[in-house]
A and B are shown apart, each in its own frame.
Chain A
Amino acid sequence: MDYLVTILVLLVFLQTRIMDLRRAVYCLSAQSAIIALSCIAIGLGTGNIEHGLIPAVLTILVKVIFIPGAVLKIIGELKNEREVVSDINTNSSTVAAALFLVLGYAIVGRVMPDAGAKDVISASILMIMTGLSLMVLRKRAVMQIVGLITLENGIYLLGLLLTRGLPLVVELGVFLDVLIAVVVLVILTGRMRLSFMTTDTSIMKKLKG
């Protein structure tokens, strides 16, 4: 579990440095795979393998294969799309991620000093906050989808850890929720590309009445 968390934190930091859309999606896919592995790990830890296995399979299907696949497909239709002119460069988002990691540890230390898996909780807080900051700092729609999934993964990890396996209905609901959100986002991105010839979300300012 500790290795998994370390790799996860590394991947999240890597995510803050990637500017190329395609690589960002690969990184996201890897991140989701780690989440799936940790599902199994937690399931093994609690001795209830079914509760680990089903979410793991679902995670792999939805977040490792389907969503990245859909996003990659839309990237394939885009040309010359790259997170080029960011208001804030990658260094600041990495520094922000580092701050979030510190914040996560601070929270865990203060709020639940006797929790078992401190690293995992702070890693999930890191993912949540980094996901949000990715959505704020990046302009491309695809990068914002990546941020959303990162955020979602963080929430999922936190929920998994705190409840030792959610009821299956809740998990299915969560997956369906993400799936539909991403489908809508992909469609919207496609429409944006058709209407504005770009997926730069700052162009949406024009819609303000």
Chain B
Amino acid sequence: MENVVAMDYFTVAIVLYLIGATTLAWPKATELAAHYAGTFCAAVASGLVAYSALAYMTCPACDAGTIVNVKWGAYSLLTDYWSAAFLLLTGTAGMIVSIYAVDYAKGYLGNRLRALTGLWNIFILSMVIVLVAGDAFTFIVAWEVMALASFLLVNHESSKKETVAAAYQYMIMTHIGTAAIMIAFYLIGSHADSMSFSDMMHNTLDDNMRSIAFLCAFAGFALKSGIMPMHIWLPNAHPAAPSHVSALMSGVMLKVAIYGLGRVVFNLLGIDFMWQGILVMVAGLISAFLGVLYASMENDMKRSLAYSSVENMGIIFAAFGCGMVLYSNGNGILSTIGFAAALMHCFAHSFMKCLLFMSAGSVMHATGSKNMELMGGLIRKMPYTAAFTLVGAMSLCALPFTSGLISEWMVLQGYITLAQYAGTPEMRLLVIFAFIMLGLTGATALGCFVRMYSVVFLGRARNEIAEKAHEQHFFMLLGMGMDAVLILLIGIMPDMLVNTVQEVFGGAMMMPMALPLGLLWSGSGDYSLYCPLILLAIFAIIVIFTGLLCYKNFEVKDVTWNCGTYPTARQQYSATGISKPLRRAFDYILQPVKETVKIHKKRAYHGQRFNVRLSIPDLFHEKIYQPLQDLIVTTSIKFRAIQDGSVRLYIGYTMTAMIIVLIWGVLLS
């Protein structure tokens, strides 16, 4: 009975997405109606997707393909626990962000709003289809639709020059990634009976080709998730897109890449060599640290959040790699810790990054800017947004009672397990390196979000735009609030989600699975290593008692002492100022460029004014992509010599080639 329900709901969801997509073609007069209808469809459909995935995962008797099992020629749709987990993630995030979009996207009224809503539906639908694809064709087609829809969404504000540049950069990068994935699928599929995943599982690829296929798949999926050398599109594309789109791109689309990597690693290739796991792990660790380092340097809110996505995807990759290393070491059961940590962090990051992008959108909506240096004191103007953002920021810093702590704690636990079963001294060294990187990442993330929150929401308004800010509309607050509640819920009662996530690796996946040590949570008996509920109770009691005891003593209200003058907004720490120590400590990596221009020279000795511009060029862009681009341009210019523009010359080339072939044929025979 349950099965039928899940399947029906899923079908209804697909139909609803398609109905939502028709808003592309609604007449212009009904723009607002189209927007409401389309967003409603997206929200309800996403909720249904989440519900059917949840029903499937919590139903022990269900077998693979319960959510959807369709076959049409070479194309097929099929689900297992791994896809169901991501369907749950996509559905939840899709529903919440769609609710947020009801009010947020209204700001685009008269600015191709119908296209925005229709593409929004197509975008979520394509991600859902990627997750349920049962063969390589369907996967690639849906993957491309996803790339195109997100490209068009990023390019929505196409009147801005930098938006178009960012969108095209994204387009090029994502196509390189798709090419790599296609090579991997082709390599595997050419040694299997057909392109369906169930046949590709039994491929007969030899070890060398298997490694190449793995490298291609890794490159493709890492590019889509923004792992460090391939991340350059991400900090440009996310700020350029409308905020709800960046929320979904960061919250869900990057995770879909993890899904793909997991599909290839678990089902198609298997984990044969330890170097594969180490590669994933090291790439993840490096992008985790560098991502958060760049995030704490940015003054643009959304750019900073985008770099923070790089960081979190790095953590997910690190956890995933940890699981792969454990598995290839022969600790199949223990590897579940790594994979479960990766999946758990996917969930946690999805919730918190959606929330923070939504609140960045609210701040942009209220002030019209995303430059942190112009904000300040927004907590008084928009208290709800500030509260929700605080939850998200706490979660991103992995503070207690939030989902961020749960997942990062699981990641660390995976590494502790790895340290225990490392085997060789080299491996132990690597684990130590991993701990150092994760520790640095966590600390820097804390700094980064303390900086962002304090500069934007606390203190005094730095600019008049922050003074004119106002609280947001109901649906925007509702969306953010739902995410904040989810984060707190999982943070305080993690056992629901964690047990479900562990179920993923116990079910249809190839791992033989038992509940491994130390992964039991509150309510399950023996090993409750971290029980947030008890901690929260103790914490609450302490707070209440201290509050009661010291209530009177805190009651002092006065202006901050400032050497006898009243403090002004300019005397606050600026965003650039807070991150200065970090910039100095890591200047050999960041290589900040400072330009000082004297703009005012009336008097010789005082009253001089300077224009100081500080920029932090992306290391990989400067060292890899810029030289590569220059090389391509110079070689192309050389090739221009044979491009005369004359039609006859081009036909002449064809003719010459034909004559050469004919003569060659004569000489050979």
User: Would B647 and A107 count as touching, CB distance under 8 A?
Assistant: no
Residues of B within 8 A of A139 (CB): 648
Q: A32-40, A65-73, A200-208: which lies at the B interface? A: A200-208
Please determine whether A201 and B666 come into contact, CB atoms closer than 8 angstroms.
no
Minimum CB distance partner of B665 in chain A: A111
Residues of B within 8 Å of A10, CB to CB, are: none
- List the A side residues contacting B604 at CB < 8 Å: none
With beta carbons under 8 angstroms apart, the residue of B651, B665, B666, B669 that contacts A136 is B651
Q: In this assembly, does A42 line the interface, its C-beta being within 8 Å of a C-beta of chain B?
A: no
Q: How far is the CA of A37 from the CA of B643 in the complex (A)?
A: 42
B659 touches A201 (CB 8 A): no
Contact in complex: B665, A202 (CB < 8 Å) = no
Residues of A within 8 Å of B655, CB to CB, are 129, 132-133, 135-136
Query: Chain B interface residue count: which class?
Result: 10 to 19
The answer to whether the Cβ of A103 comes within 8 Å of any Cβ in the partner chain is yes
Q: Is the CB of B666 within 8 A of A107?
A: yes
- Which residues of A have CB within 8 Å of B644? 205, 208
Q: List residues of chain A with CB within 8 A of the CB of B651.
A: 132, 135-136
Q: Is A79 an interface residue (CB 8 A)?
A: no
Interface membership of B1, Cβ < 8 A: no
B538 interface hit (Cβ, 8 Å) = no
- The chain A residue with its CB closest to the CB of B649 is A136
The answer to whether B648 and A107 have CB atoms under 8 Å apart is no
Q: Which of A44-85 contact B (CB under 8 A)?
A: none
Cβ of A7 under 8 Å from chain B: no
- At the interface, yes or no: B550 with Cβ under 8 Å from chain A? no
Residues of chain B with a CB closer than 8 A to A207's CB: 645
Q: Does A129 lie within 8 Å of B647, measured CB to CB? A: no
Which of under 10, 10 to 19, 20 to 34, or 35 or more describes the interface residues of A? 20 to 34
Q: Give complex CA distance A205, B669 in Å.
A: 41
Taking the complex as formed, is B69 at the interface, i.e. its CB lies under 8 A from any CB of chain A?
Answer: no
Which residues of chain A are within 8 angstroms of B665 by Cβ–Cβ distance?
107, 110-111
Q: Are B658 and A132 in contact (CB under 8 A)?
A: yes
* Residues of A189-207 contacting chain B, CB below 8 A: 201-202, 204-207
Chain B minimum-CB-distance residue to A133: B655
A208–B643 CA distance with the chains assembled, in angstroms: 9
Chain B, interface SS category: helix
In whole Å, how far is A191's beta carbon from the nearest beta carbon of chain B?
14
Bound together, the chains give a CA A111 to CA B665 distance in angstroms of: 8
Rounded to whole Å, the gap between the CB of B646 and the closest CB of chain A is: 5
Mark B630-669 against chain A: 1 for CB-CB distance below 8 A, else 0.
0000000000000111111101101100110011011001
A103 in contact with B662 given A132-B655, A135-B651, A136-B655 (CB within 8 Å):
yes
A80-139 residues at the B interface, CB under 8 angstroms: 103, 106-107, 110-111, 125, 129, 132-133, 135-139
A204-B646, A204-B647, A205-B646 in contact; A106/B659 too (CB < 8 A)? Answer: no
- Are A204 and B654 interface neighbours, CB within 8 A? no
- Looking at A107, A136, A201, A204, the one whose CB has the most chain B CB atoms below 10 A away is A136
In this complex, what residue of A is CB-closest to B646?
A205
Q: Evaluate contact between B643 and A136: CB separation under 8 angstroms.
A: no
Cβ contact of A201, chosen from B643, B648, B669, cutoff 8 A: B648
When C-beta atoms are compared, the residue in chain A nearest to B655 turns out to be A132
Contact of A132 among B647, B654, B666, B669 (CB under 8 A): B654
Q: Which of A147-184 contact B (CB under 8 A)?
A: none
Tell which of A111, A205, A208 touches B666, judged by Cβ atoms closer than 8 Å. Answer: A111
Cα A36 to Cα B315 in complex, Å, equals 73
A138 to B: closest C-beta gap in Å: 8
Q: Say which residue of B645, B658, B662 sits within 8 Å of A205 (CB atoms).
A: B645
Would you give the shortest CB distance from B642 to chain A, in whole angstroms?
A: 12
- Find out whether the CB atom of B648 lies under 8 angstroms from the CB atom of A129: no
Least Cβ–Cβ distance between A197 and chain B, in angstroms: 18
Encoded as 1 (CB less than 8 Å from any A CB) or 0, chain B from 108 to 147 comes to 0000000000000000000000000000000000000000
| B394-437 Cβ-contact flags toward A at 8 Å (1 or 0) | 00000000000000000000000000000000000000000000
Chain A residue contacts of B658, Cβ below 8 A: 129, 132
Q: Is there contact, CB below 8 Å, between A103 and B663?
A: yes
Most B-side CB within 10 Å, residue of A125, A133, A135: A135
Residue of B nearest to A128 (CB): B658
Instruction: Compute how far the CA of A107 lies from the CA of B663 in the bound complex, rounded to whole angstroms.
Output: 8
A111 to B662, CA, bound (A): 10
A110-B648 contact in complex given A132-B658, A136-B655, C-beta closer than 8 Å: no
Q: Which of B644, B655, B669 has the most CB of A within 10 A?
A: B655
| Residues of chain B lying within 8 A (CB to CB) of residue A125 | 662
B645 A208 Cβ-Cβ under 8 A:
yes
Which chain B residues (279-315) contact chain A, with CB distance < 8 Å? Answer: none
Per the bound structure, the CA–CA distance linking A105 and B666 in Å amounts to 10
- A77–B647 Cα gap in the complex (Å)? 23
Given the contacts A129-B655, A129-B659, A110 and B645 also touching, CB distance less than 8 Å: no
A107–B420 alpha-carbon span in the complex (Å)? 74
B657 → chain A, closest Cβ, in Å? Answer: 10
Cβ–Cβ < 8 Å partners of B654 in chain A? 132
Output the least CB separation between A80 and chain B (Å). Answer: 21
Task: Note all chain B residues with C-beta closer than 8 A to A136.
Answer: 648-649, 651-652, 655
Q: How far is the CB of B656 from chain A (nearest CB, A)?
A: 9
Report the nearest A residue to B650, measured CB to CB. A136
- A111 with B648: in contact, given A103-B662, A129-B659, A132-B658 (CB under 8 Å)? no
B267-285 vs A, CB cutoff 8 Å, 1 = contact: the mask equals: 0000000000000000000
Look across to chain A and name the residue whose beta carbon is closest to the beta carbon of B652: A136
Q: Which residues of the partner chain A approach B662 to less than 8 Å between Cβ atoms?
A: 103, 107, 125
B652 to chain A, nearest CB (A): 4
| Residues of B contacting A205 in the complex (Cβ-Cβ under 8 angstroms) | 644-646
* Residues on the A chain within 8 Å of B645, using CB: 204-208
CB <8 Å contact, B643 and A106: no
Minimum CB distance partner of A107 in chain B:
B666
Asked whether, in the complex, the Cβ of A135 is within 8 Å of the Cβ of B648, the reply is yes
When distances are taken between beta carbons in the complex, the residues of chain B under 8 Å from A206 are 645
In the assembled complex, the Cα of A202 lies from the Cα of B644 at a distance in Å of 10
> Whole-angstrom distance from the CB of B647 to the nearest CB of chain A?
5
Nearest chain B CB to A115 CB, angstrom units: 13
B646 proximity list for chain A (CB < 8 A): 201-202, 204-205
Bound-complex Cα distance A207 to B649 (A): 14
- A114-B648 Cα distance, complex, nearest whole Å: 37
Tell me the minimal C-beta distance from A188 to chain B in angstroms: 11
Q: Are B648 and A137 in contact (CB under 8 A)?
A: yes
Residue of A nearest to B667 (CB): A110
Given A107-B662, A132-B658 in contact, is the A202-B669 Cβ separation under 8 Å?
no
Q: Tell me which residues across on chain B come within 8 A of A110, comparing CB atoms.
A: 665-666, 669
Tell me the complex Cα distance, A144–B644, Å: 18
Q: What separation, in Å, do the CA atoms of A208 and B647 have in the docked complex?
A: 11
Name the B residues within 8 Å of A201 (CB-CB). 646-648
- Interchain CB contact under 8 A, A202 and B666: no
Across the interface, which residues of B come within 8 angstroms of A144, CB to CB? 647-648
Chain B hits for A138, CB < 8 A: 648
List the B residue with the shortest CB-CB distance to A109.
B666
Tell me the smallest distance from the CB of B658 to a CB of chain A, in Å: 7
B312 to chain A, nearest CB (A): 43
C-alpha gap A147/B511 in the complex (Å): 67
In the bound complex, residues from chain B placing their C-beta under 8 Å from that of A103 are 659, 662-663, 666
Minimum C-beta distance from B641 to chain A (A): 13
A207 to B659, CA, bound (A): 29
| Shortest beta-carbon distance from B102 to chain A in Å | 45
Check B666 against A106 for contact (C-beta < 8 Å). yes
10 contacts between A and B (CB under 8 A): A103-B662, A110-B666, A111-B666, A125-B662, A129-B655, A137-B648, A144-B647, A202-B646, A205-B644, A205-B645
- Which 8 residue pairs are nearest across A and B when measured between Cβ atoms? A208-B645, A132-B655, A205-B645, A136-B652, A135-B651, A110-B666, A110-B669, A201-B647
Please give 4 more A-B residue pairs, beta carbons under 8 A apart, in addition to A136-B648, A201-B648: A129-B658, A129-B659, A132-B651, A136-B649
Instruction: Point out residues on B near A: beta carbons under 8 Å.
Output: 643-649, 651-652, 654-655, 658-659, 662-663, 665-666, 669
